C-alpha cells in the first residue's frame, strides 16, 4: 500500500532541509572565521617580543641614590650562540676595499699625487683641495703638504715608489701610531659605556663589539640603557642572541641609569668579563639629555669603575662630528672614539681631526652594516688601506 504524503508536508520537509543545509554552511563559515581570527591574534602576539619574566616596573628615579636603591630585574637569559664571529685581527685587511678611492676623496687625492710623473704647483693645489674636502682639516693638511714638499722636492720629476714611501711615512705620522688604541676591558667586570648623537651607529657598534669580545674569548653582557624606545632593546637582543650574549633591559621610558646599574650588577653577580652599556642617542645641544648621560656614568660607578667610554661618531657628518665630540667629552670623559660609516662615501681625514680635537684615539672603525664590519683601528693598516685602495 502506498502512503501518499500531502503536498504541504513535502514542502515543509523540503524547506526544513534547505534551511538545515544553509544553516550548516553559515555555521561552518562562522566557525572557520573565528578559528582563523584566533590563530592570527596568537601569531601577532608571538611576533611582539615578550617582556622577560620577572620584570619590576621601577619608576624613574629622581636622583642617583634612588636609582641605585631601585635596580631593575628585567633580563634576557643566556642563549646558545648561533654565529662564530670573525677574528678581529684580520678584519682591516678584509675591509680595506671599503675605503676605495672611487668613493673616498681622501684616498683619491693621495692616489692622484702618486699617479703624476711631474709634480707641479697645480698638483699640490689639487692635493690640498682633496685633503680639505676629505675633512682632514686645514692645520693637518698644511702640515702634510709642507712635509711632503720638503721631502719630495717642491716641483719636478716624481718617482712613484719614492713618493709612495714618503706619503705613507707622513700619513702614518699624522694618524699617530704612538696612541694607545687598546680597548680597556679589564675589570670585574670591565664596563664599556657607549655614547653619541642619534643614529651614529651606537647600537650596531655594540652588537659588533660584542662579537669582537666573544671572538677574543671574553664573556659579555649587554645593558640596554636606551629606554627611550623598546625597539632599541629588541635591536640589542637580536645582536646578542646571535653570539649567545644576554641583555639586561628595563621598561620603556624607565630610568636609563637604573638599567645601566642593573646590568653592571648582574655582570658582577654572574662573573661576566665585560658589560657593554648602550645609551639613547642624544643631541649634544640638549643640556638635560647630556646631564642624564653624566648621571648614567656616575650611577654605574657606584658599582664598578667605567673602563672605557666610547663616543660613536658618524664619519659622514664632517665638522659637526667634531662639535659633538667636544661636548660629549666634557660630560663623560670620553676615552676612545668609534668612527662609523667610513665605508662608501666617508671621509677618512676625520680620523686625524677627531684625535687632535679630543686628544683621544680612534679605537674602532665601522666599515659597513655587516655583523663583522667593525675593525680595530691601527694607523699603519689604515694608511696602507688608503694607499692601496
Ligand atoms: N654603512 C654603514 N652603516 C652603519 C655603520 N654603523 C652603523 N650603520 C647603520 O647606521 C644606522 C643607525 O645605526 P644604529 O646602531 O641604530 O644607530 P644608533 O646610534 O644606535 O641610533 P639611536 O639609538 O637611534 O641613536 C643603521 O642603519 C646601521 O646599520 C657602518 O659602519 N657603516
Ligand atoms: Mg641605538
pLDDT at residue 251 above 50?
yes
CB 289 within 8 A of CB 196: no
Supply the pLDDT for residue 345. 60
Q: What is the pLDDT of residues 274-330, one digit of tens each?
A: 999 999 888 887 777 888 999 999 999 999 999 999 999 998 887 788 888 888 998
| CB-based contacts of 285, cutoff 8 Å, min separation 6 | 327
Q: What is the pLDDT of residues 218-245, one digit of tens each?
A: 999 999 999 988 899 999 999 999 999 9
Supply the pLDDT for residue 36. 54
Binding site membership of 204 for ligand 1 (Cβ less than 6 Å): yes
Rg (CA), the chain: 30
CB atoms within 10 A of CB 63: 11
Supply the pLDDT for residue 157. 60
Supply the pLDDT for residue 66. 41
- Ligand 2 ion local residues (Cβ < 5 A): 202-203, 232
Binding site membership of 249 for ligand 1 (Cβ less than 6 Å): no
CB 314 within 8 A of CB 349: no
Question: What is the 221 CA–ligand 2 centroid distance (Å)?
Answer: 16
Q: What is the mean pLDDT of residues 88-92?
A: 76
Instruction: Quote the cell numbers at residue 234.
Output: 629588541
pLDDT at residue 121 above 90?
no
Supply the pLDDT for residue 40. 46
pLDDT at residue 129 above 60?
yes
Least-confidence region, from 25-34, 179-188, 202-211: 25-34
pLDDT at residue 254 above 50?
yes
Q: What is the mean pLDDT of residues 128-138?
A: 85
Three-state SS string across 188-251, please?
CCEEEEEECCCCCCHHHHHHHHHHHHHHCCCCEEEEEECCCCHHHHHHHHHHHHHCCCCEECCC
Give Cα separations from 95 to 222, 349, 368 (angstroms). Answer: 26, 17, 9
Supply the pLDDT for residue 72. 46
pLDDT band at 101 (very low <50, low <70, confident <90, very high): low
Q: Which atom of ligand 1 lies nearest, measured to the CA of 366?
A: 31
Binding site membership of 255 for ligand 1 (Cβ less than 6 Å): no
Mutate to test the pocket of ligand 1, among 201, 208, 340 (most ligand atoms within 8 A of CB): 201
Strands (E), the chain: 118-119, 156-157, 190-195, 220-225, 247-248, 274-279, 308-314, 336-340, 362-366, 374-376
Half-sphere exposure of 360 (CA within 13 A, CB side): 25
Global pTM reads 0.78
pLDDT at residue 12 above 70?
yes
313 prior amide bond cis, ω within 30 = no
Supply the pLDDT for residue 43. 37
Between β-strands 156-157 and 118-119, what pairing exists: parallel, antiparallel or unpaired? antiparallel
pLDDT at residue 88 above 60?
yes
Question: What is the 239 CA–ligand 1 centroid distance (Å)?
Answer: 13
pLDDT at residue 62 above 60?
no
Q: What is the mean pLDDT of residues 201-215?
A: 94
Supply the pLDDT for residue 167. 84
Supply the pLDDT for residue 73. 44
3-state secondary structure of 330: helix
Distinct helix (H) and strand (E) counts, the chain: 14, 10
Supply the pLDDT for residue 278. 96
Question: What is the 80 CA–ligand 2 centroid distance (Å)?
Answer: 24
Q: What is the pLDDT of residues 315-368, one digit of tens each?
A: 888 778 888 888 899 899 999 999 999 886 657 788 888 898 888 999 999 989
Amino acid at each position: 500500500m502506498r502512503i501518499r504524503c500531502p503536498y504541504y508536508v513535502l514542502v515543509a520537509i523540503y524547506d526544513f532541509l534547505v534551511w538545515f543545509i544553509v544553516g550548516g554552511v553559515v555555521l561552518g563559515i562562522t566557525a572557520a572565521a573565528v578559528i582563523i581570527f584566533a590563530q592570527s591574534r596568537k601569531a601577532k602576539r608571538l611576533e611582539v617580543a615578550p617582556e622577560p619574566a620577572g620584570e619590576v616596573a621601577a619608576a624613574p628615579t629622581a636622583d642617583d641614590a634612588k636609582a641605585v636603591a631601585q635596580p631593575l630585574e628585567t633580563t634576557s637569559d643566556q642563549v646558545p650562540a648561533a654565529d662564530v664571529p670573525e677574528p678581529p685581527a684580520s678584519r682591516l685587511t678584509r675591509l680595506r676595499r671599503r675605503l676605495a678611492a672611487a668613493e673616498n676623496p681622501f684616498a683619491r687625492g693621495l692616489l692622484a699625487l702618486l699617479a703624476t710623473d711631474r709634480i707641479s704647483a697645480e698638483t699640490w693645489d689639487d692635493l690640498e683641495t682633496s685633503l680639505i674636502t676629505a675633512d682632514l682639516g686645514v692645520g693637518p693638511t698644511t702640515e702634510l703638504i709642507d712635509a711632503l714638499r720638503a721631502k719630495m722636492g717642491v716641483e719636478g720629476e716624481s718617482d712613484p715608489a719614492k713618493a709612495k714611501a714618503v706619503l705613507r711615512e707622513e700619513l702614518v705620522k699624522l694618524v699617530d701610531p704612538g696612541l694607545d688604541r687598546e680597548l680597556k676591558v679589564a675589570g670585574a667586570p670591565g664596563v664599556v659605556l657607549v655614547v653619541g648623537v642619534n643614529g651614529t651607529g651606537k647600537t650596531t657598534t655594540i652588537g659588533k663589539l660584542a662579537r669582537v669580545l666573544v671572538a677574543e674569548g671574553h664573556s659579555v653582557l649587554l645593558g640596554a640603557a636606551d629606554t627611550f624606545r623598546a625597539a632599541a632593546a629588541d635591536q640589542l637582543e637580536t645582536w646578542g642572541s646571535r653570539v649567545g650574549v644576554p641583555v639586561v633591559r628595563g621598561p620603556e621610558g624607565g630610568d636609563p641609569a637604573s638599567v645601566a646599574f642593573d646590568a653592571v650588577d648582574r655582570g658582577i653577580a654572574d662573573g661576566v668579563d665585560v658589560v657593554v652599556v648602550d645609551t639613547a642617542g642624544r643631541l649634544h645641544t640638549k643640556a638635560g639629555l647630556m646631564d642624564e648621560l653624566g648621571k648614567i656614568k656616575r650611577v654605574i660607578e657606584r658599582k664598578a669603575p667605567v673602563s672605557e667610554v666610547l663616543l660613536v661618531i658618524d664619519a659622514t657628518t664632517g665638522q659637526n662630528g667634531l662639535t659633538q665630540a667636544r661636548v660629549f667629552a666634557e660630560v663623560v670623559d670620553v676615552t676612545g672614539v668609534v668612527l662609523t660609516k667610513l665605508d662608501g662615501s666617508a671621509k677618512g681625514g676625520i680620523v686625524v681631526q677627531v684625535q687632535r680635537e679630543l686628544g683621544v684615539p680612534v679605537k674602532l672603525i665601522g666599515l659597513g652594516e655587516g655583523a663583522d664590519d667593525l675593525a680595530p683601528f691601527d694607523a699603519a693598516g689604515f694608511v696602507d688601506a688608503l694607499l692601496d685602495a
